Amino acid sequence: MRDVWLLVLVLAATVSHAQIEKWQIGGSGLAWDQGDSLQVLVDFVNVPGSIQPRYLQPDQNLLPLLENWQFWRVPGVRNLSYIDGYMPRVWKRWNGRGGDPTQSGVLLVDADSTTYNAPRSEGIQDQFYTIDTAVPVPAQQFGFYTPPQGFRSDGTPLNTDATPAFDVSIGDESEPVVTGPASKAGGEDFCTSNIGVWLLENCPESWRSAGYAPFQQVVASVAENLDPTVHVDFPRQYVRYFRWRRQLSVLDEEAVDICPTCGGAGVQAHALKGSIGGFEIFAEGVPQRAVYLSRIVDLGQAVNFGRLHWSATPLRLENGAVVEAPDAQVWLKAEVRIGRDDDPATYNEFTDLGREKEVSREHYESLTPQFTRDPQPGLRAPIGYDSDNWSFWSVPATKSGEHLRLRSGSYLQLNLSLESRDFDAWIRLDSLWIEIAPLLAEEVVAEVARLDDLQPVRGIVEVELGQWTEFAYQVRAEFTDGAGFDALHINTGSRPTFRGLEMGTPLSAVVPALVLEEEDGLTIHLNERITRANNAPIRVVFASKVFELSHTFTGELLDTDSESLPQPIAPGDASAAISTSSLRVLGAAGESPDLIQALALSTPVLTPNGDGVHDRLDISYALFRLPDPVPVALEVYALDGRSVARLDKGFQGAGPQQLAWDGRDEAGRLLPPGLYLLSVSLQTEFAQARQLLPLGIAY
């Protein structure tokens, strides 16, 4: 993942102060098959210059098509190289006694029938393999077979050494899959003995039953088997996890001394019957998603980022022919993250005091993974995320042309998911490009505080939710080069009121060239251009209401004289006069207002008769404390409490909101005249008291 390559730039536009360019992959840009770091079931061959999900053929074993296999000894232990959903993995239940590492399953997914796990004197319960294909695939058959050559120690040919009894189960992505004691906090806290080996009897019963049981859907449970090659058919469905488990058979009596108190598991005197040369999975159609993770791209210099675009075509297989399918349930999900160095991770080692200290990746790789509860020197501590130098993944874009709203940076990485909900339909992605432009300033930071408390004692800005509050927004820019800027925008979250602009040293009031008070933001056009030669400090004073428990007043610089891209404003120390170094504002501690407040109707009587008077009801209210938008519905009740209408109104976030209603139920029927009760409901984890308002309907 640390491999980088230089930017491929295609000039898109030349303007007076800056150039908008694009970084592109596919088409005339970087070749798709040269830009991936990891991929799962992506087809580079059948669509030259493009990518699409691989169409899986029912007569081809899926396992050899998967790359970057991970072979686990203890699933749940932090693995430096593993990325969930991008790497297939296989593991055998680990018995805590070490042993041959090939027993992890490495020899059973290599598509080589001559490699196999030799029969061992193990408990029946240890013959337990789980396969994770990384993405859900349209599976319809699971199989396994004996090695074609070789002999057991007793002279029995391996090709006749069939597994006497077994079960096969399958699971989707909702299944608990980790064999053994899963961690509550990412894999470090195991059921352990004092020598660092987890023991089944030390684990809670819930872990034991979940970790060593078949998945919910058992597709085969065979008590007697003599066939060296086994295929288990089941209806085609999206499956990610496959579990093969050995069962006790009457043929095992020679090898097993039955132990009634051990659940029939027994103690093995001889190697168990049954040799497996390999597993097979057969599927038909495209995976539910094919994933493409790019390498980390070195852009050569820090730039600003604009919109994300792509060219793609939905396709479907019909009667053996590939045709365009505009209505197919297929789409692209694209995420981007931006960095200032070539590695988004931080690596840590435990110290003598059990604390963590940051080390280089090379040093981290030389350390021993942590298998014990107690942190010790020389053991790997958790890998962290370098949020100081890397943004988190952007909100997934599903439509071409969406604005990324990412901070500036000199490195980028793409995370693409080619999604499908149809076995025989998929999306072909031809090219993808991102708008970029030079920085307006080398660095720009800002901090916000209440105007009446510029230096809060705890350094945290606290406000009363839903109340007008005056804020001071201080901006500082640094230049080495760059065209400069002449405007800035502040995302206030609700409609603000501009109070004033101060500039210079010392700060003094100035009249801006233009002020735009918008529904959720404030744009100020300065009366002078800020450049390296004229770098005046800036303070914007405005008033707004905060409706969320935590709101961040993000902002961006603008150059109105050119078509250059806005430059995001980062939180930081902008002035000694303000001590927050943050753009975040919190709701006052201890407040728990109702989620819905100020609920009001535009008229007490709705008359939907088409005369243009009170034909539509407008419902206004304010939402509080919501960290993210939630589904909103209008509910209408008769006076006896019966629900007579419920209409979904989409997602809404914190702040002032409105709904409109025409007096019809979800089937489009007008409600009869009468008196009703209206309520706005939110699908949220927060408890809320229902507010009911009376409404009359008359014709």
What was the pLDDT predicted at 587? Answer: 75
Domains of the chain, earliest start first: 9-53+289-344+386-438 (2.60.120), 63-283 (2.60.120.260), 443-587 (2.60.40), 596-697 (2.60.40.4070)
Sign of CA dihedral 505, 510, 514, 519: positive
What value does the mean pLDDT of the chain take? 83
pLDDT tens by residue, 600-632: 888 888 888 888 788 888 988 888 767 678 888
Is the per-residue pLDDT at 446 higher than 60?
A: yes
Is the per-residue pLDDT at 371 higher than 90?
A: no
What was the pLDDT predicted at 255? Answer: 54
What was the pLDDT predicted at 317? Answer: 96
Of the two residues 278 and 271, the one the predictor is more confident about is: 278
Rounded average pLDDT over 683-696 = 70
Q: pLDDT band at residue 586, thresholds of 50, 70 and 90?
A: confident
Closest CA to 685 of 606, 640, 633, 631: 631
Rounded average pLDDT over 94-109 = 66
Q: pLDDT band at residue 666, thresholds of 50, 70 and 90?
A: confident
What was the pLDDT predicted at 425? Answer: 97
Question: What CA–CA distance (Å, rounded) separates 578 from 541?
Answer: 13
What was the pLDDT predicted at 100? Answer: 58
DSSP 524-576: EEEEEEE-SSS---EEEEEEE---SSEEE--EEEE-TTS-PPPEEEEES---T
What was the pLDDT predicted at 688? Answer: 61
Beta strands 643-652 and 693-697 are: unpaired
Q: pLDDT band at residue 566, thresholds of 50, 70 and 90?
A: very high
Whether the CB-CB separation of 643 and 636 falls below 8 Å is answered with: yes
Closest CA to 312 of 333, 282, 283: 333
What was the pLDDT predicted at 80? Answer: 60
Is the per-residue pLDDT at 209 higher than 60?
A: no
What was the pLDDT predicted at 257? Answer: 54
What was the pLDDT predicted at 593? Answer: 60
pLDDT tens by residue, 503-542: 999 999 999 999 999 988 999 999 999 999 999 999 999 9
What was the pLDDT predicted at 55? Answer: 97
Q: Provide CB contacts within 8 A for 467, sequence distance 6+.
A: 545
Whether the CB-CB separation of 520 and 508 falls below 8 Å is answered with: no
Rounded average pLDDT over 198-216 = 52
Question: What CA–CA distance (Å, rounded) separates 352 from 416?
Answer: 42
Is the per-residue pLDDT at 208 higher than 50?
A: no
Question: What CA–CA distance (Å, rounded) separates 655 from 493?
Answer: 7
What token pair was written down for 381? Answer: 């501590």
As to burial, measured by CB atoms within 10 angstroms (0-12 exposed, 13-18 middle, 19+ buried), residue 286 is buried
What was the pLDDT predicted at 182? Answer: 37
Q: pLDDT band at residue 203, thresholds of 50, 70 and 90?
A: very low
Q: Provide CB contacts within 8 A for 126, sequence distance 6+.
A: 92, 93, 95
Rounded average pLDDT over 412-431 = 96
Closest CA to 148 of 277, 281, 272: 277
Rounded average pLDDT over 368-385 = 73
Q: pLDDT band at residue 690, thresholds of 50, 70 and 90?
A: low
What was the pLDDT predicted at 269? Answer: 55
Q: pLDDT band at residue 674, thresholds of 50, 70 and 90?
A: confident
What was the pLDDT predicted at 551? Answer: 84
Q: Provide CB contacts within 8 A for 587, sequence distance 6+.
A: 462, 463, 464, 465, 546, 548, 549, 550, 625
Rounded average pLDDT over 472-495 = 92
Rounded average pLDDT over 47-76 = 87
What was the pLDDT predicted at 664? Answer: 87
Rounded average pLDDT over 629-638 = 85
Is the per-residue pLDDT at 18 higher than 70?
A: no
What was the pLDDT predicted at 262? Answer: 47
Is the per-residue pLDDT at 53 higher than 80?
A: yes
What was the pLDDT predicted at 17? Answer: 44
